[in-house]
Amino acid sequence: MPYKRYISILFFFANLFSNTYSQEFSPLLPDTGYQAIVQKKVDLGGGLVVLSVALAPGFEDLPTLTYYRLKQGAKIGCVYFTNGEDVPNYEYGKTPYETAKQRKEEAYQVMSMLGGEAYFLNASLLSLRSTEKESLNRQKYVDKLETIISDMKPDVILLNSDCFFPTKNQKMYN
């Protein structure tokens, strides 16, 4: 019968640590409590709209977006040129499609955690670096970007250095 005592002690500590764990990892934008009231006050005070433009998921400026969202109460969004399939993946055995799916889902999760929106232009790096005879193909991405900008009407647009596409003599990734 002493094993019942050990099991009850084990359940007690498991319950104690599970409650501590859930309190420790609360969401960035809580729904209830004092922090929710403070964040709602910040949100009502800020009318700023911030749009980040990034090459692929993972290239966005998350610290700046987080600051604008949580401290300034800004509405945030991020535009990604590619889905991330062209960016090197160090996991063995993943196809570009699986990599793009994973990175796209992660981008949606991060932006929803911050209370923002993620937009994808679904371009590939090859289509963005193509020759002049394929400029019509590039024009559709410019049109999509113009539509997103006109819909959001951002006050601040963050351009990461990765958005400026290198010439043939430069390296693709710094």
7-37 pLDDT tens trace: 555 444 455 444 433 334 446 677 777 777 7
Q: How confident is the model at residue 134 (pLDDT cuts 50, 70, 90)?
A: low
Mean pLDDT rounded to a whole number for the chain: 75
Q: What is the C-alpha separation between 157 and 10, in angstroms, rounded?
A: 53
Asked whether residue 44 carries a pLDDT value surpassing 90, the answer given is: no
- Angle in degrees, CA 95, 145, 151, rounded to 5: 125
User: Where exactly are the structural domains of the chain?
Assistant: 29-163
**What band does 147 get if pLDDT is binned at 50, 70 and 90?**
very high
What would the pLDDT profile of 46-80 be if each residue is shown by its tens digit?
789 999 999 888 888 899 999 888 888 889 999 99
Give the CATH class of 29-163. alpha beta
Q: According to the model, what pLDDT value does residue 23 have?
A: 38
Q: Bigger pLDDT: 77 or 90? A: 77
Contacts of 87 (CB under 8 A, 6+ apart): 55, 56, 58, 59, 99, 103, 173
- Pick the more confident residue, 36 or 171: 36
Which residues, in sequence order, are bridge partners of residue 50? Answer: 76, 156
pTM summary value: 0.70
